[in-house]
Structure 1
């Protein structure tokens, strides 16, 4: 009964704006051009069709999950997610069995929080070629992961998004609202406030826009001002000057 209730609740709950406009192609991702431009090492790996074991290291909201999902889409593998708070070794074993009938790309979020037994089992499956693995961490791998784990993965560092990247994120969000029949204008002061408080975190900007447009419906016209953004972030410190 509880499972049915949870399923119904999840079905009726609207997705966050960040999930609604998440890109599905590497070429559509904002920022991280040092990793995603044509001819880079990561793009060449994706072109080969075999990922092996990769590790994305970077701050929150810089695209680790989005890049992993897009890679799965582009190489035609089914995408599965693991999280240390929700999954255990038995879940990893189940993915190993599933990979016998499906070509999987497994994304291990917050991989630094996995136990040694979880990490060892994951890497054992990857070394045997059972499935491809992408891990994500916000911490320096040299300090938060075991050397054995790091040595088996190709590490790519993601950078905080630039101010221009963040403006592109806002532009995409505005275009998304337009498609839903909602006219949203973000004035210059609001744009400056959003990028200042985001600290290179796209998710933070999109969450703010989600809150500021929560009352808007099809046919609405809304202007987001600097005062509105300042009021939303009044208890939040500026991450970067």
Structure 2
């Protein structure tokens, strides 16, 4: 079912629709070095094969899983003096040495490189190679595109056209939603449902939602490194933004995709401190307790523990004052002259410390009313912590304001 032409290709309208940049390069046979980046089943390899059919240039194909530096050199040697396009599927699998072997030939124009990658090229490729290539991002196919693809597969002689297959709209929707925009996965799901469907005496195969559920059993998920970071980002921002429903949804997505529960737990702990902080000090306790419980309980019951912590953090009052305080203090340490430790705060437990003036004049706060006494703790006074008006931090702010007013 691999498309043989641009007319048969489904999806990526922004790149391959009428007037799209990649379509124009292909139609005019003006291919430059390209990195086609996106999830599996979005058409990267299919487009490379279409280019191979349309271009007047030599077209050499390698797969980074099995190819090495020797294969790269052989492919380049094969190019001779004519224009050569070298397609490398899964180029992100190449190590730095293998990528560096490509670089001088791409720079000189000896070869035109087309790389297909499921990983972000700005992370997966050496910067010099990424910067010398035009990067086109392929997105997961929309459900309507998936349904169009399935209809074509049912009608085409290359697909199921030679069989008597019927499929209702509900069954189409079922696959379109559950393939996560992956055309290859959608076709595999269609094939599995066809092979496992019962064939009546009429010889006609009917694919139903009920049959699909039995054959597919569960929803399948695409979850690569980029999506891992995108979803964890959405998860953290949902907790920070006090949206418990969004936060627990992204939690469920990560769990269903097989994310390490301890990784999730650590993110909750960080959020509890960075985004809730002293507005509700219990948030950190809940998050740390959840992380410890996950270690002892494990999954699948651990999902309940994670959900409890997520919902607590998401609904807690918010303050980033602790985060801002350490950022300001760190900036002061790095960018300003370092402050000396005042003599009265210096260590005085050793013999001879008093002769050096260490610890002299220090006032022990617990000896004073309210367990507080005004004294200098910095050589030059600076303010780093500015408590918010949220939750418990409002009490802290009131206490600090009272103490500071007594210093004047």
Provide the TM-score with structure 1 as the length reference. 0.82
Query: Using CA pairs below 8 Å that are at least 6 residues apart, which structure has the higher relative contact order?
Result: 1
Distance 1:77 1:220 in 2: 47
Distance 1:76 1:179 in 2: 33
Distance 1:140 1:231 in 2: 35
Distance 2:82 2:204 in 1: 46
Give the SS at the match of 1:79: strand
Distance 1:101 1:215 in 2: 52
Moved more, 228-237 or 80-89: 228-237
Alignment check: 8 A CA contact 2:33 2:113 kept: yes
In the TM superposition, what are the counterparts of 1:1-241 in structure 2 within 5 Å?
21-100=1-80, 103-176=83-156, 180-214=161-195, 220-237=203-220
Distance 2:118 2:156 in 1: 29
Distance 1:127 1:182 in 2: 51
Q: 1:160 to 1:115 in 2, by over 3 A?
A: same
Q: 1:101 to 1:215 in 2, by over 3 A?
A: farther
Q: 1:76 to 1:210 in 2, by over 3 A?
A: farther
Q: 1:142 to 1:59 in 2, by over 3 A?
A: same
Give the SS at the match of 2:156: helix
Distance 1:191 1:49 in 2: 36
Q: 1:239 to 1:49 in 2, by over 3 A?
A: closer
Distance 2:193 2:81 in 1: 45
Provide the TM-score with structure 2 as the length reference. 0.50
- Structure 1's unaligned 5+ residue stretches are 1-20
Alignment check: 8 A CA contact 1:27 1:36 kept: no
> Post-superposition shift, 1:104?
3.5
Report how many residues are paired.
220
> Post-superposition shift, 1:116?
1.4
User: Which structure has the larger Rg over C-alpha atoms?
Assistant: 2
Moved more, 231-240 or 129-138: 231-240
- Between structures 1 and 2, the one with greater strand share: 1
Alignment check: 8 A CA contact 1:181 1:220 kept: no
Cα distance per residue 1:160-200 (max 9 Å; x no partner)? 11111011111111012587521111122211211111011
Give the SS at the match of 1:213: helix
Aligned to 1:6: none
> Post-superposition shift, 1:130?
2.5
> Post-superposition shift, 1:103?
4.9
Q: 1:231 to 1:104 in 2, by over 3 A?
A: farther
CA RMSD of aligned residues (A): 2.5
